[in-house]
Amino acid sequence: MSYERELVSPAAEGDDAQIEAALRPKRLAEFIGQARVREQLSLVLESALRRQRPPDHVLMNGSPGLGKTTLAMIIAAELGAPLRITSGPALERAGDLAAILSTLAEGEVLFIDEIHRMARPAEEMLYLAMEDFRVDIVVGKGPGATAIPLEIAPFTLVGATTRAGLLPAPLRDRFGFTAHMDFYDVAELEQVLERSARLLGVTLPAEGAHEVARRSRGTPRIANRLLRRVRDFADVRADGLINREIASAALNLYEVDAEGLDRLDRAVLDALLRKFGGGPVGLSTLAVAVGEEPETVEVVAEPFLVRQGLLARTPRGRVATAAAWAHLGMTAPPDAFGATLFD
Ligand SMILES: Nc1ncnc2c1ncn2[C@@H]1O[C@H](COP(=O)(O)OP(=O)(O)OP(=O)(O)O)[C@@H](O)[C@H]1O
């Protein structure tokens, strides 16, 4: 993806990846926010531990960077179980999945990131594995092909997706519990930032934490990255002092605006208003206008714009709200569909 920007790209590289790993909370008690998910999960885990059985399979649904991988690691840690990590796109053939399933230890946690992108044959193998802890290995081709059943050790599948709607119902139904991960509020992000600052040895006054939290798109991964950029700025230009003005100047430099919208968010709004008069416009047309893949616009930009009340998804297409016109300092034409609908 051409615009899979530094700030939200799932796989950070080099130093960033190491820092991201170091900042991950290791236990449920350290995990900030998502109170409902934490409570639901702690019940599932505690009762499994009491019964001495692997817990039900868990599906996590939410935007990138909200802590799905972190929670998968926490689930394994809380159970005292080993963790195996793979992703949907890596499971192209049923054999790729069979190789993993057949070598799982009893009670192991298998994390499949982007589970909605798994190939169909692997998906079908997973149904049986999740339900009966068994896979059918097909030997031979055509009419002579035979399926040899292979027992696998009881395990817990943790699946993560940014698009639960794309999961086929038979797969969705085999999860005992779905954790819906929401954007974090400012107070929660302040806590994330204070924790990260402590771990990184950065002095972060409350006003600096507030400014960064406010502009982090409700996402801990972005909060942590912005913290590092603000720290660089403060080190070089302000003797390490992160007050509100310094945080704000640093974030402006990195093109994060006062509402936390970044370049892609603004490009989407800008195209919607200037090129399509506020909409309604279809997702693909909008994506072409900003030079992006429709999936990037849909998964990365839109959920936040919807949450901020700047964009609405309607049956007729994407529509800008009155707040979107105001945010870009423009006046909505009298016939703007979104502006009249949402005024
Ligand atoms: N609740 C939280 N408390 C503190 N830090 C968090 C929390 N959730 C996420 N983080 C931090 O945000 C970063 C990103 O989290 P994580 O990789 O788990 O997100 P993700 O939802 O799996 O993203 P993606 O789907 O894009 O891979 C981690 O480095 C972690 O330190």
| pLDDT reported for residue 12 | 47
Q: Residue 152 pLDDT more than 50?
A: yes
Q: Residue 21 pLDDT more than 90?
A: no
Average pLDDT (106-110) is 96
Residue from 61, 221, 299 to probe ligand 1 pocket by mutation (most atoms less than 8 Å from CB): 221
34 CA: nearest ligand 1 atom: 1
224 lines ligand 1 (CB under 6 A): yes
Cα angle 39, 159, 170 (rounded to 5 degrees) comes to: 105
Residues flagged as binding site? 23-24, 65, 68-70, 131-133, 174, 184, 221, 313, 318
278 lines ligand 1 (CB under 6 A): no
Q: Residue 107 pLDDT more than 90?
A: yes
Residue given tokens 């998964």 in the structure block = 299
Residues flagged as binding site for DNA? 313, 318
Is 178 strand, coil or helix?
strand
221 lines ligand 1 (CB under 6 A): yes
Q: Known catalytic residues?
A: 68-69, 113, 162, 221
pLDDT digits (tens, 9 = 90+) for 120-139: 999 999 999 999 999 988 88
What is the widest separation between alpha-carbon atoms in the chain?
Answer: 75
The interface pTM score, or ipTM, of the predicted complex is 0.96
220 lines ligand 1 (CB under 6 A): yes
Percent of the chain with pLDDT over 70: 94
pTM exceeds 0.90, yes or no: no
Residue from 23, 24, 191 to probe ligand 1 pocket by mutation (most atoms less than 8 Å from CB): 24
Residue of 44, 81, 85 lying closest to 68 (CA atoms): 85
| pLDDT reported for residue 145 | 85
Domains of the chain, first to last: 34-180 (3.40.50.300), 186-253 (1.10.8.60), 263-327 (1.10.10.10)
Distance from residue 10's CA to the centre of ligand 1 (Å): 9
- Atom 30 of ligand 1, residue of closest alpha carbon: 24
Distance in angstroms (rounded) separating the CA atoms of residues 300 and 102: 35
Q: Residue 8 pLDDT more than 60?
A: no
DSSP 72-128: HHHHHHHHT--EEEEEGGG--SHHHHHHHHTTPPTT-EEEEETGGGS-HHHHHHHHH
Cα angle 185, 40, 51 (rounded to 5 degrees) comes to: 155
| pLDDT reported for residue 7 | 44
Q: Residue 10 pLDDT more than 50?
A: no
Q: Residue 195 pLDDT more than 70?
A: yes
pLDDT digits (tens, 9 = 90+) for 236-284: 998 888 999 999 999 999 999 988 999 999 999 999 999 999 989 999 9
| pLDDT reported for residue 165 | 83
Is 343 strand, coil or helix?
coil
Distance from residue 36's CA to the centre of ligand 1 (Å): 17
114 CA: nearest ligand 1 atom: 25
Q: Residue 4 pLDDT more than 50?
A: no
- Residue 43 contacts residue 70 (beta carbons within 8 Å): no
Of residues 236 and 336, more confidence is placed in 236
64 lines ligand 1 (CB under 6 A): yes
Residue of 299, 322, 300 lying closest to 309 (CA atoms): 322
Give the up-direction half-sphere exposure of residue 278: CA atoms within 13 A in the CB hemisphere.
23
